[in-house]
Amino acid sequence: MRAERGPALAWGVLGVLAVGLAWWALTAVGGAGSPMLAALNPLGVPSALASLLATGVLVQDLVTSTLRLLLGMGIAVAVGIPAGVLIGLHPPTRWASALPVQFVRMISPLSWAPVAVALLGVGSAPVVFLVAAAAIWPILLGTAAAVAAIDPRYVAVAHTLGANRREMLRTVLVPSVRPAVLQSIRLALGIAWVVLVPAEMLGVTSGLGYEILNARDRLAYDEMLVVILVIGVLGAAIDLLARLLLTPRRG
């Protein structure tokens, strides 16, 4: 595996350079007939980034979006894990909830935007709600599946050794479901980040999603491009961090 890291890194850098070159060629050739396309030239990214950093807008939007993401994920974890444990442990609950859960989870989280705004008003609250609504399902379903898949022999052995409920939770349930739950949280985090940006285009006046619309309305397409790139870079960084923190370690 270590021997492959060097070539993998080299090819990764080459891929980024190839995409950047193709992007530059597209804007250079097509920009002659399209002022908007010309404004998306990657050569303008450094100056636009410097401008956004100088005003402090980009940092403020980053902080705002990150806080909304963490709040939404916190709600999803706080609700999804206990609900998943209940569904996994109690077959009647699992059977009764199967169709409602399947129905609701297939509805796009952004479809709830009008309802969220009507109930929670304009501001961060509906954004956090939409993030939580997107993130809860991988966590709930992953937890439920992991709990339901616990080997009954482990439970029988624990009972034989006289384990009470707290000891059963600590020695059987948590170790058995921890890897699956952590992977579910990582998956939910990626989904939450994807939903966060369009959710911030729904009547709020801060955040990375709002900043895209703000730059568009000001015809500052170079700044709009910078925000889009920042969203991509930050999303990749969040996934990498989640992989490092949430991937179970062997041994």
DSSP-assigned states of every residue in 145-178? HHHHTS-HHHHHHHHHTT--HHHHIIIIIHHHHH
User: For the chain, where do the domains classified as CATH 1.10.3720.10 start and end?
Assistant: 45-246
Sequential pLDDT tens for the chain (251 residues) = 555 677 777 887 888 888 888 888 887 776 666 777 777 788 888 888 898 899 989 999 999 999 999 999 999 999 999 999 999 988 899 999 999 999 999 999 999 999 999 999 888 999 999 999 999 999 999 999 998 887 777 666 766 766 666 766 677 777 888 888 999 999 999 999 999 999 999 888 899 999 999 998 988 888 999 999 999 999 999 988 888 887 766 54
Dmax (CA) for the chain in angstroms is 78
Q: What is the pTM of this model?
A: 0.85
d(CA 184, CA 143): 8
Output the CA angle 218-223-225, nearest 5 degrees: 115
Residues 6+ apart with CB under 8 A from 180: 142, 143, 145, 146
183's tokens? 């992977």
45-246 carries CATH number 1.10.3720.10: yes
d(CA 215, CA 53): 14
